[in-house]
Amino acid sequence: MPYKWVTGTREVTKYRDVIKQDRLGYTEITVHRPKIIFFEFEGMRPNIPHWIFFGNTEVTKFCNTSYTLSDYTSAGRNSDIKEPGDKFVNATAFPTELGGPSNGGASNSLTSNSDGSLRGFFYLQSNSTTNFPTTVDGTSFSALDISTMNRQNALSYASTQFHGIGQYENWYEYTVEESKVFSESYRYQEYYSGESSDYRGPSTGGNDPSPTVTHVKRSGGGTDIKFNYGNETITHTYDNDGGFSVSDTSGGNWKKNDGGYWTRTFN
């Protein structure tokens, strides 16, 4: 069956979903997160028991006095000392993995050094049962020689302020549809029946002259379609059942390609 190549361009629109975010601001964090703090109290009475308080809460069992300042400053940025995260959030005293509490737990005291000092690490716990609110003025961190937070009754006392603030950054996430228009080229074969002076015959390479096309009905049925290229002719013979054969009546160099089409290169 005769055919011709049809080519052209068309505009195509494609769509995609894009996730976007907008920052809505900040929300203050109302409680301290878990943290390990280095402390050092000086000027107290030497070699006597002391209890440690964070705010008004006795936290002696959350302290370990075997650590020095260099232990803290030399610790890695992502170490359990610098960034404990939630690793010890269920601990009820200074984390056992880091040495445990120096007072042995419970409400036992810590003894000041011979120079009247106390130093070490304090684990600031933060969970559903033990947590400490953040305040604008900070939270007192104290050592007293009595087991209650009563400065007037203490003979040895040292204190400082711990400040800590935190914020949540709030974001809003949403999805939008984006479109893009671009040109797309196409090419296809169009088959048709009947005579047509536009039909160019078999695929050719090089300089392909336009052929003269003639249809000849055969007496036995079917049709011969002849393509005359100057002094060369190629004939397509179509049978009644739709099959066809090709013959080169001029003895030229027409060849059948892998697609089943006959080709001839013109120089």
Average pLDDT, the chain: 80
Distance of alpha carbon 94 from alpha carbon 97, whole angstroms: 9
Looking at the structure, tell me whether residues 172 and 161 fall in a common domain.
Answer: no
**pTM of this structure:** 0.57
pLDDT value at residue 232: 54
Looking at the structure, tell me whether residues 231 and 257 fall in a common domain.
Answer: yes
Query: Alpha-carbon Rg of the chain, whole angstroms?
Result: 46
Give residue 39's pLDDT band: very low, low, confident or very high (50, 70, 90): very high
pLDDT value at residue 230: 52
Domain tally, the chain = 3
Looking at the structure, tell me whether residues 149 and 46 fall in a common domain.
Answer: yes
Find the domain containing 217 and state its range: 202-266
pLDDT value at residue 250: 45
pLDDT tens sequence across 151-209 = 999 999 999 999 988 888 888 898 999 998 888 887 877 766 544 333 344 444 444 44
In Å, the largest CA–CA distance within the chain is 133
Looking at the structure, tell me whether residues 158 and 70 fall in a common domain.
Answer: yes
Is a pLDDT exceeding 60 seen at residue 16? yes
Distance of alpha carbon 95 from alpha carbon 100, whole angstroms: 5
pLDDT value at residue 193: 58
Looking at the structure, tell me whether residues 144 and 245 fall in a common domain.
Answer: no
Looking at the structure, tell me whether residues 35 and 107 fall in a common domain.
Answer: yes
